[in-house]
Structure 1
Amino acid sequence: MEATLASLKPAHPAPLALSGPAVAYGGGKFLAVWSDERTGGIFGTRIRQDGTVLDPNIRINIGDGARGNSRPAIAFNGTSFFVVWNSLDGVDGVRVKPDGTVVGPVFHVIRTDESFSPVGVACSPDICLVTFTIAGDAETVIFFGRVTKNGVVITDSDRTLSPFPNFARDAAVTWNNQRKEFLVVWSDERGAGAGHEDIYGNRVKEDGTILDDDGFPISTAPGAQRTPDVTWTGRRYHVVWSDNRDGDPDIFGARVYGNGAVEDPDGIPISTASGDQTEPRIAHHNAKSLVVWDDTRTGAHRIFGARFGEDGRVWDPTGFAISQGDEPQEFLPDVAYGGGQFFTAYAGADAFEPFEPRFILGTRVNHQAEVTDIPALLLTREP
């Protein structure tokens, strides 16, 4: 018999997470994963469509520990979840069945002590593309690796997506099921120096063929464009990022056609509220995407969101509050769509500190921008 959250939640749970969550939908359930201070370093839990939290935390990494504060990434290939993270000696991953069973062994996308977060993953039914950043002596470069649906790593002869010497970081990736290719986006200095990063993209076929050489520009606005995310809508890509062209960081987006043509080269303002808007994440269903981000307009860190239409319209130009202050600081969101609703997972803590333990919280959001779970669901709890 499945227990409810209320029956499993301890009176005073201990914060265990070290980094923000990633979330995906598959097999009728959401799976949220995060970096954790317990042995293994990567844990997760499943959430039913009705908001029931099913697991007292699954140990996802059944191998060695993850690198401290390494935020994992997750995707669903139609059969299994693929979870990847930055480990002590490279980038590792594992498959998880929709029933919560972790399928070993852990696969090693790359063995190196020069990789660092964030990692990204997107899956076709047969291939998952994993993105990560490698640090050299005078550059950071976006790399990718491919993994079969059975968890077997494919050796690629050319794995770099960004040019070097150069500083590129913060890659994200999505799968285009119509063109049978992936789009990877990232933040890229291109010689302009820190504080002047732009957003670039590159398309990759399932067989590893790189379609856009060193990448194509998506946003080259003044100032810094950072921490992008991307989703395929069925008609085009939606790309979002944090953008400080007007001073404080705001959330901007652009639509990109499947052939790489950028429909909105100047960007579309999604949130230009007071304070800082950073770390956007995006998920799509029907004619709208839900964009979520870390927002300090109230002074504390909170999670806000806005709906971004297929036609470029922003349905919630002032944004709406997704987190409600269950924790003094709430930050590092992710979002996925499934079962008729969006699910947003995020970190919560007493203070905005990068290396302190924290809780992972979650809430459902419907197409009318209504938040279902107040207070938020508590996804981490003592074993």
Structure 2
Amino acid sequence: MKRRNTRAGLRWALLFGALLAACEPVPDTEAPEDEAAQDEEVTAQHQVTTPLPPPPRPLALSGPAVAYGGGKFLVVWWDVREGGVYGTRQKPDGTLVDPEGFRVNIGTGPGGPPSIAYDGQQFIVVWDTGDGIDGVRVKPDGTVVGPVFTVISSGEVFGPVDLACSSKLCLVTFSVDNDEGSNINARRVTTDGVVLPELVRGLSTGARLAGESTVAWNGKHFLIAWTDSRGGDTTPDIFGARVKPDGTVVDPGGFSIAAAPGEQRTPDVVWTGRRFLVVWSDGRSGNRDIFGARVNSNGHVDDPAGIPIGTAPEGQLFPAVAHHNSKSLVVWQEETSGGSSSIRGARVHEDGTLMEPSGFSVSNSDLERETVPDVALGGGLFLTAFSGTSSEDPSAPDFILGSRVNHERRILGLTTLTRAAEPPSVSTSALTRRAPPR
């Protein structure tokens, strides 16, 4: 459920072949001239009325966010087209419902890196505008329900923005600059799109710097996790706090989830049905690895030393997590010494056992750079959405791709989700207003 904004910045071109229909030739002696011309006219008409589908285009300015509801996945991203926030739906069988995507930000304000959640009836999408946070509701049939609502309007607010929803309200989390540094705030939004006036404060009062927040709902309260400078400005740790639906902070100032040497950053969190699983990128070994910890509903951390999940020699970044039954799928961006990157994953059992110590490939694309994944469960499988490119131009848009993975870790199909019938007009201001890496 993530809002990842890193930039690999690049281009990818695909070549498509055309389908050719062949008929058994008729000898010239048996076909009058006018009949041959008639055949040519029919063939030309057939070519006009059955055009090839539009090829994929690089359209995305940030990594995607994905959620499942109403029988479909909805993937959203920050886009170069007017409105800035676009999405597409995909069925669990791989069918792309909206091949050209559709505009999610139907308002006049700017788009930005989005996040998404499902409240049991509809999707709620929120995004960082650069001067606050806006949002909108989207039905499972793709209808965008206006008007766009403003969660907060302030130049002091920055992302990544995240949210989680109950059947009645959503909690939106974000970072706010202050005189000393930054802290974590949140705001509640009803599922009717009504923004409640009270800010949720007091989450990260013990830190000079706090950011990169993420949130999940367990049916009773929300757990917010974030990057916290109490381990040092350059060696932050992961902290968390529970919040009740009425906005009460159960753990004022937060509690430690991961404290270790080096940086602990970019957390994600999911409710497993029994406890929360928090995952993050960890620098204790000198490289960037993926670690996790299980957190009970009462705030007790079962794994204070962390569970090593992805520990290959090269860097592992930007983890995301989804859960089903007794297993969670954790996915991440894995760097290589040659400057390329790919999306890999591993399953973590409810009891904390790592099921694939070496991980496995989540994507089978041949793109040079695969970055900033998100993952959701639906229809009995996982959909991992991520950015993909093979250009070295950091200002160029990316493709968004989706890889379906079943519970036996087999890739069922890879789809390019960003398509457009006409070339997009790229906004220069949008390209220069890129959010920093999560």
* Fold match by TM threshold 0.5: yes
| Structure 1: tracts of 5 or more residues without a match | 1-5
Which residue number corresponds to residue 35 of structure 1?
78
Q: Helix, strand or coil for the counterpart of 1:190?
A: helix
More helix by share: 2
- Among 282, 293, 300, the alignment partner of 1:261 is 300
Structure 1 stretches of 4+ with a deviation exceeding 6 A read none
Q: Is the 8 A contact 1:140 1:168 kept in 2?
A: yes
Residue 356 (structure 1) aligned with residue 396 (structure 2): yes
Residue 184 (structure 1) aligned with residue 224 (structure 2): yes
TM-score (norm 2): 0.82
Q: Helix, strand or coil for the counterpart of 1:33?
A: strand
Which residue number corresponds to residue 228 of structure 1?
267
Distance in 2 of aligned mates of 1:284 and 1:158: 27
Query: Identity of counterpart residues, as a percentage?
Result: 55
Change in 2 beyond 3 A, CA 1:276/1:366: same
More strand by share: 1
Change in 2 beyond 3 A, CA 1:353/1:189: farther
Deviation track 1:266-289 (CA, whole Å, cap 9, x = no partner) reads: 001001101110000000000000
Matches within 5 A, 1:364-375: 364-373=404-413
Distance in 2 of aligned mates of 1:14 and 1:323: 19
Which residue number corresponds to residue 3 of structure 1?
none
Q: Partner letter of residue 351 of structure 2?
A: D
Q: Helix, strand or coil for the counterpart of 2:211?
A: strand
Which residue number corresponds to residue 247 of structure 1?
286
Matches within 5 A, 1:85-234: 85-156=127-198, 158-163=200-205, 166-177=208-219, 180-190=220-230, 192-194=232-234, 196-234=235-273
Change in 2 beyond 3 A, CA 1:324/1:112: same
Distance in 1 of aligned mates of 2:207 and 2:179: 9
Which residue number corresponds to residue 54 of structure 1?
97
The CA deviation at 1:160 is 4.2
Q: Partner letter of residue 170 of structure 2?
A: C
TM-score (norm 1): 0.93
Distance in 1 of aligned mates of 2:420 and 2:122: 26
Q: Is the 8 A contact 2:242 2:249 kept in 1?
A: yes
Number of equivalenced pairs: 370
Q: Helix, strand or coil for the counterpart of 1:174?
A: strand
| Structure 2: tracts of 5 or more residues without a match | 1-18, 20-50, 422-438
Q: Is the 8 A contact 2:187 2:200 kept in 1?
A: no
Which residue number corresponds to residue 79 of structure 1?
121
Distance in 2 of aligned mates of 1:47 and 1:226: 31
Is the radius of gyration larger for structure 1 or structure 2? 2
Change in 2 beyond 3 A, CA 1:158/1:99: closer
RMSD: 1.6
- Which segment drifts farther, 86-95 or 248-257? 86-95
- Which segment drifts farther, 26-35 or 129-138? 129-138
Residue 345 (structure 1) aligned with residue 388 (structure 2): no
Distance in 2 of aligned mates of 1:117 and 1:209: 22
The CA deviation at 1:149 is 1.0
Q: Partner letter of residue 66 of structure 2?
A: V
Which residue number corresponds to residue 436 of structure 2?
none
The CA deviation at 1:352 is 6.3
Change in 2 beyond 3 A, CA 1:365/1:165: closer
Distance in 2 of aligned mates of 1:283 and 1:295: 18
